[in-house]
Amino acid sequence: MSLTDISEETKRRRTFAIISHPDAGKTTLTEKFLLYSGQVSEAGSVKAKKGGKSARSDWMTMEQDRGISIASTVLQFTYQGNVINLLDTPGHRDFSEDTYRVLAAVDAAIMVLDAAKGIEAQTLKLFEVCKARNMPILTFINKWDRPSLDPLELMDQIEEAIGVQTTPITWPVGPGGEFEGVINRKTNHFIRFTRTSRGATAAPEDPIDLKTATGLEGEYFTKALEEVMLLDEIGATHDHELFLAGETSPLFVGSALTNFGVRDLLEAVIHLAPAPTSREGEDGSIRKIDDPFSAFVFKVQANMDPSHRDRVAFMRINSGHFERGMQVTHHRLNKPFSTKFATSMFGSERDTVDEGYPGDVLGLVNANDLRIGDTLYAGEAIAFPPIPRFEPELFWSARPTDVSKTKQFRKGLNQLDEEGVVQVLRDLDAPTASPVLGAVGQMQFEVFSHRLEHEFGAKVEMNPTSWVVARRTNDDTAQKIRELRGTRVLGSLDGTLFALFDSTGRLMRTINDNPEWVLERVVETAG
């Protein structure tokens, strides 16, 4: 494989995730991307999984019972000669730390907002992680076929909530519900909105130049033209550098359900979103894309197939050419690692893959030695920075229902902590005291309990604790906190100290009374 080939292959790759609040339209949009890329011939094939109708997945029984997907799916498809890797960020009830970790493996994100709702809680959380990484974000305002907020108001709201200025590329003609089409500010065309029946096939699009459209269109068009002029005046215009730095976000308006605006957004993924570039190692060294193979693990999924009891470690390639079966080095264990069982995932189906390039995400099956954050490499050694744990938001206790299973319980607890299934928070001064389990989503506890019982043979009883909020702290502050009521200091596997509080009010008062204490929120900063 020549260096030119690696660089050419990398240039045509786009690796991104869609972030949204549940119900904003992420699944619909994903499905439409597949429709437009020719991956599926008719919309409906991905979505069916959600309803459980065509769920072919035989992953965890829990997953079957609920008809939801616990695993982050990685979809790879081609569009106009480009290779697109779309990583799923689980939402709804399956929201977990994995959702955040996926963002460590992408180069850009699409933020999907519901036109009637704007920024919602879950988008905000995911957005903070993107922002901490200075990740470029494309904004898609969905459901314009229904009543919506005013578009200028939406722009203000986004800027206020997340501090990012949006630079509309397409601008709506007509308010939501009376949608007539969009003005594309880049091509200076008007594209009329045509309702397609649930968008089973691509939407008809006949761009008309603005001058011609002025003669044909009515009041809404005139108003939209005025608004577009205003956008020019206030400088809400795409600036590529600012976008790549995560400071501005190109905005698109559409309706995923009826396919409108989907093509513009896909084109933007190709023309605006960045291809994979060099990544920095833990020691500050730079791994260029055409350096020898390197990758890092951002997610480990166990027991997707109970009949095989396997573990799939998902890695993102950062440099070089990957060939299945190649011998690489496992950095943490400093030993050779075989990559015989490399797969790609499409929905719930697995395919063996033979090669990969920077930006690609591959699953390594039966990779029992791999943990989140591990680096694999060929050639010169490299270790990518660890993926930090996130500040837990839910705190539960766990104990084996049968005390004779305490040993199995401890073993499982340690392993699932290492795997990142939950965060085990321990009293560092009393290591045998009952731990508190921390998570960002309820699903993490359910996976924990299921796996402890089925893999380690220890049935557990789990209960919510009185802790409601945690902040990262240091030794000095921890000592003072230990003297307060309604708080407790616990440590996680990587040695991070967390101060837990029994109410947000108490946390606020503690911060107000002691502004010099270290009580920080944990937002990812690794590169």
Nearer to ligand G4P, 28 or 39 (CB): 28
- Please give the sequence-ordered ranges of beta strands (E in DSSP) within 384-442, or none if there are none: 394-400, 423-425, 436-439
Tokens standing for residue 415: 């392993």
To ligand G4P, the closest distance from the beta carbon of 151 in angstroms equals 15
> Strand 181-184 and strand 170-173: pairing?
antiparallel
Q: How far is the CB of 186 from ligand G4P (least distance, A)?
A: 22
Cα distance from N-terminal residue to C-terminal residue, the chain: 28
Asked whether position 24 contacts ligand G4P by CB under 6 A, the answer is yes
The residue (of 254 and 412) whose beta carbon lies closer to ligand G4P is 254
Determine which residue in the list 6, 162, 183, 257 makes contact with ligand G4P, applying CB under 6 A. 257
Nearest to 436 by CA among 423, 446, 449: 423
Stretch that binds ligand G4P, among 17-25, 96-104, 229-237, 357-365 (CB under 6 A): 17-25
Q: What is the closest distance, in whole angstroms, from the C-beta atom of residue 421 to ligand G4P in the complex?
A: 24
User: Which residues 71-110 are close enough to bind ligand G4P by CB under 6 A?
Assistant: 91
Q: Is the separation of the CB atoms in 364 and 328 below 8 Å? A: no
What are the residues whose beta carbons fall under 8 Å from the beta carbon of 352, sequence distance 6 or more? 324, 341, 342, 343
SS3 231: helix
Q: d(Cα 346, Cα 253) in Å, to the nearest integer?
A: 28
Stretch that binds ligand G4P, among 15-23, 185-193, 223-231, 268-276 (CB under 6 A): 15-23
Q: Which of 10, 15, 27, 492 binds ligand G4P (CB under 6 A)?
A: 27
Q: How far is the CB of 423 from ligand G4P (least distance, A)?
A: 26
Using the minimum distance from each CB to ligand G4P, give the nearer residue, 86 or 387: 86
Task: Name the one range near ligand G4P by CB under 6 A: 23-31, 69-77, 235-243, 343-351.
Answer: 23-31
Binding ligand G4P (rule: CB under 6 A), the pick from 10, 15, 20, 319 is 20
Site for ligand G4P in 448-477 (CB under 6 A): none
DSSP string of 278-326, one letter each residue: -EE-TTS-EE-TTSSPEEEEEEEEE-SSTTTT-EEEEEEEEES-EETT-
CB of 34 vs ligand G4P, minimal distance in Å: 13
Is 120 an interacting residue with respect to ligand G4P (CB under 6 A)?
no
From residue 163, alpha-carbon distances to 119, 127, 191, 250, 518 in Å are: 12, 11, 30, 14, 25
* Closest distance of CB 112 from ligand G4P, Å: 7
Structure tokens at 306: 């109970």
The residue among 256 and 499 lying less far from ligand G4P, judged by its C-beta, is 256
The reply to whether 125 sits near ligand G4P by the rule CB under 6 A is: no
Q: Name the CA dihedral angle for 317, 318, 323, 328, rounded to a multiple of 10 degrees.
A: -100
Q: State in angstroms the smallest separation of the CB of 20 from ligand G4P.
A: 5
Quote the crossing angle between the two packed helices 262-271 and 26-36, to the nearest 10°.
80
- Which DSSP string do the residues of 83-127 spell out, in sequence order? EEEEE----GGG--HHHHHHGGG-SEEEEEEETTTBS-HHHHHHH
Per CB under 6 A, the segment of 238-246, 249-257, 286-294, 421-429 that binds ligand G4P is: 249-257
Q: Residues 6 or more apart from 105 whose CB is under 8 A from it?
A: 15, 87, 296, 298, 299, 314, 316, 361
In this chain, which of 111, 256, 345, 519 binds ligand G4P, going by CB under 6 A?
256
Closer to ligand G4P by CB, 142 or 319: give it. Answer: 142
| Residues composing the chain | 527
By CB under 6 A, residue 444 contacts ligand G4P: no
Site string for ligand G4P, 129-168 (x = CB under 6 A): -------------xx-xx----------------------
Q: Rounded to the nearest whole angstrom, what is the least distance from the CB of residue 259 to ligand G4P in the complex?
A: 9
Token pair, residue 468, equals 């409601």
Cβ closest to ligand G4P, residue 24 vs residue 317 = 24
Cβ 191 to ligand G4P, closest distance in Å? 16
DSSP state of 53: T
The number of helices, as runs of H, and strands, as runs of E, in the chain is 15, 30
Alpha-carbon distance of 283 to 279, in angstroms, equals 11
**Number of residues in contact with ligand G4P under rule CB under 6 A:** 16
Minimum Å distance from CB 261 to ligand G4P?
Answer: 9
- Comparing CB distances to ligand G4P, the nearer of 70 and 469 is 70
Please pick, from the candidates 9, 25, 96, 169, the single residue that binds ligand G4P as defined by CB under 6 A.
25
Considering only residues 255, 449, 477, 510, which one is a binding residue for ligand G4P as defined by CB under 6 A?
Answer: 255
Tokens of 93: 């009830």
Does position 23 bind ligand G4P by CB under 6 A?
A: yes
Residue 499's H or E segment, with its range, is: strand 497-501
Among 11, 22, 350, 468, binds ligand G4P (CB under 6 A): 22
Q: How far apart are CA 249 and CA 243, in angstroms?
A: 6
| Smallest distance from ligand G4P to CB 256, Å | 4
Buried b (16+ CB within 10 A) or exposed e, 57-90: bebbebbeebebbbbbbbbbbebeebbbbbbbbb
Q: Closer CB to ligand G4P, residue 148 or residue 184?
A: 148
Environment class of residue 236 by beta-carbon count within 10 Å: exposed (0-12), middle (13-18) or buried (19+)? Answer: buried
Residues of the shown chain interacting with ligand G4P in the complex, contacts defined by CB under 6 A? 20, 22-28, 91, 142-143, 145-146, 255-257
